[in-house]
Amino acid sequence: MCEIEEPSLNNEFEENTPSIVVFGDKSSGKSSVLKRLVGLPLPMGSTKCTPFEIRMLQTEEPLRKISLRYIEDENHKPTTPREVEFANITDLNDEEIEEKLREAQRYVRNPSINAENTQLLPDSDELTFTKNVVCVTISGPDQMHSLPMVELPGIVRDEESHENFLLSLVKEYIKKETTILVPVFQATSGIATQCVSRLAREADPSGLRTVGVLTKMDRIINYMSDDEKHLELATFVKGQGKHKLVNSVYVIRNPSSVRSEIFEDPDELEKATIEALKQHRIWRDVPSDQFGLNNLTMKLNELQQRSEAQERPETEERPETEVPSEAQEQSSI
């Protein structure tokens, strides 16, 4: 483990590359969405109190590694940003990767502890929530885009200080004009009661860089007679109504548990959920391209390319202006 010697490269990558930020209430299903998007066994549950950044890069050799980025100390005071390598996970299986990620989470929540040579004490952390980041780099010849994705801790309301910290963290990440916002809504709660809607609208009033995700629709299928609820959700997915999003909303079916994830194919689960929804008259006119992970991925790629195109004129080098020679100056007089 060692400190990365050229942090400026990482800063430049983050500054000039559009990023996708996934955020939502606690237990909204955002970790499962990101897990399916990047194919990485991200930890889920109450220990998820740190931002996760997934960097996908196209390189000749495949590599997966974890690094830790520290930007605050054990008192939440800003420090000089530094990033240290933590683990090479290229050859690890999913269970081992998840264990390493959980360990990395604990180290960034204990910034005074040297991750290289100091063991963590069990269940004793300096910070409950932190701005320090667990970074995962996924690179190889199959990666088509240099694209960072960030998942933020779920917003909790059990304590005001925790809620305020998390709201501030989300606002900080989504304010950049090139950031693509992915607010995750859960179908089991009213759309108006989920604060991600307000956060997205405040950061992106035009809605042009926001695409919504609706999870937990499998729990609504059992209530086919609740026309009011189905109408609210179908209208939301179609990009209509009071809470409409310009880029609309995508219905994603995540595995309902770790056991379900092991023994059932997420794509098949999603297909079955979509077919069941389409049996309800309210959902029959919802466009098919608003369902499923593949359609969400295509929309994110579209928004990323649009964002890159807008950013490119500012980052491309301009040709230097030629300085006229003395002879040219005299001939023009």
Give the model confidence (pLDDT) of 134-178 as tens digits: 999 998 887 766 668 999 998 887 778 888 999 999 999 999 888
Q: What is the pLDDT of residue 269?
A: 86
3-state secondary structure (DSSP) of residue 245: coil
d(CA 165, CA 158): 12
Element at 150 (helix H, strand E): strand 147-151
pLDDT tens track for 88-126: 999 999 999 999 999 999 999 999 998 887 788 777 889
C-alpha distances (whole Å) from 303 to each of 2, 211, 308 are 36, 9, 9
Q: Do residues 56 and 146 make contact, with C-beta atoms less than 8 angstroms apart? A: yes
Q: Do residues 131 and 71 make contact, with C-beta atoms less than 8 angstroms apart? A: yes
Which residues does residue 321 pair with via DSSP β-bridges, in sequence order?
Answer: none
Q: What is the rounded average pLDDT of the residues 310-318?
A: 55
Task: Tell me the domains of the chain and their CATH numbers.
Answer: 1-169 (no CATH), 175-298 (3.40.50.300)
Q: What is the pLDDT of residue 314?
A: 52
Q: What is the rounded average pLDDT of the residues 223-242?
A: 89
Q: What is the pLDDT of residue 3?
A: 47
Cα angle 238-244-246, degrees, rounded to a multiple of 5? 85
105 φ, ψ to 5°?
A: -55, -40
